[in-house]
Amino acid sequence: MTNQYSITLLPGDGIGPEIMDVTVKVLETVGKQCDIKFNFQTALIGGAAIDAKGVPLPPETVETCLKSDSVLLAAIGGYKWDNLPRELRPETGLLGIRAALGLFANLRPATILPQLIDASSLKKEVVEGVDIMVVRELTGGIYFGQPKGIFTSETGEQRGVNTMAYTVSEIDRIARVAFETAQKRQKRLCSVDKANVLDVSQLWRDRLIKMSEEYPDVELTHMYVDNAAMQLVRNPKQFDTIVTGNLFGDILSDAAAMLTGSIGMLPSASLGANRPGLFEPVHGSAPDIAGQDKANPLAQVLSAAMMLRYGLNEPEAATKIEEAVLKVLDLGYRTGDIMSEGAKAVGCQEMGKVLLEVLEGN
Ligand code: IPM
Ligand code: MG
């Protein structure tokens, strides 16, 4: 029987449309091989939506996403929209779709591929074998807490306010995802907080400890965020699964990504409860190389693999894509961002072409 899925594509800005093109072809090819039919529809987000509709997240985009089985996003943003007021900026569209889909769990893997070990700025012995999964809370914490805003006091002085807040249920649901993620990995979960200073972190830590009773097979440790930043660059191999709040996760996942030296290779998944998940590369829209056929499409392609694995429960198709990506690297094909001596330099489309050849040869 053919499994059918409705997928909303959000190509967004910059290199987004180019890498999305490659990814759609990969999905169609793997779909044929695994008896999966994808029905794609494309919607506007970010700068593209600002230009066409005047807002970064038009209501019809939210509607289309909510009606689909999964959402595949490329990237948003660019110089052109950098000076708009906050509510009209492309980033606001991204935060809006996360909130609208209730995507509270953000999974950001940082895996060192042996083929690309020289791309890391750290010593080979430090990064070899690194395989970290950052589970970042995505719809709470200081990004969304109330009160927020810039207020003027009676004396006329302005005061900027954001609030870091987590309720027990917000902590518990992300903790559950983290414990279950760790269970499928090396069963080591490190919770990162700032419990030596912040009350919200103390509650976070208490709840994690409480929930660990339900997961006796997972080893739970705790680390303060400043130390975690240091340990990530000092000895990243000590980490398996990391769980943390929205802001700490934003920062630490960038550091973890950079351990690999190839942010153009990293996918991510954002999951909610009973709503379509959203899958996107960790990198941005790279406006400086947009439209020049230079972009690395592999993080987008691997995001589609995460969609198959975590969003649609099609692990076989996911594995096919992941294996094809590794094979293409083994064959020596590299886009500019991961270029090394002796490798075969290709552009975005050419990378897509070899990927399809490898898939069809499998
Ligand atoms: C990310 C980005 C976003 C965030 C921005 C673009 C709003 O940095 O996905 O990590 O801070 O969450
Ligand atoms: Mg970020």
DSSP secondary structure, 291-304, as one string: TTT----HHHHHHH
Ligand nearest to the CA of 46: 1
**Judgement on whether residues 252 and 285 belong to the same structural domain of the protein:** no
217 is in an annotated binding site: no
Cis peptide before 147 (omega within 30 of 0): yes
Question: Residue type for 54, please?
Answer: G
Confidence of residue 341 (pLDDT cuts 50, 70, 90): confident
Residue 74 has a pLDDT of 98
21 is in an annotated binding site: no
**Judgement on whether residues 275 and 331 belong to the same structural domain of the protein:** yes
User: Ligand 1 centroid to 254 CA: how many Å?
Assistant: 10
SS3 category, 312: coil
User: CB–CB of 246/138 below 8 Å?
Assistant: yes
Can you give the residue range of the structural domain that contains 326?
1-106+262-362
Ligand nearest to the CA of 95: 1
Active site residue 166: no
**Judgement on whether residues 136 and 247 belong to the same structural domain of the protein:** yes
82 is in an annotated binding site: yes
Residue 290 has a pLDDT of 97
Average pLDDT score, the chain: 96
Q: What angle do CA 217, 218, 219 make, to 5 degrees?
A: 120
Structure letter (DSSP) for residue 283: S
Task: Please tell me which residue in 5, 25, 194, 333 is annotated as part of the active site.
Answer: 194
Q: What is the mean pLDDT of residues 99-105?
A: 95
**Judgement on whether residues 179 and 269 belong to the same structural domain of the protein:** no
Q: Counting atoms of ligand 1 from 1, which one is nearest the CA of 254?
A: 10
> Is it the case that residue 362 has pLDDT exceeding 70?
no
Instruction: Tell me if 124 is assigned to some domain.
Output: no
**Judgement on whether residues 283 and 360 belong to the same structural domain of the protein:** yes
Residue 354 has a pLDDT of 98
Separation of CA 241 from chain center: 15
Q: What's the domain count of the chain? A: 2
**Judgement on whether residues 244 and 137 belong to the same structural domain of the protein:** yes
Question: Residue type for 248, please?
Answer: F
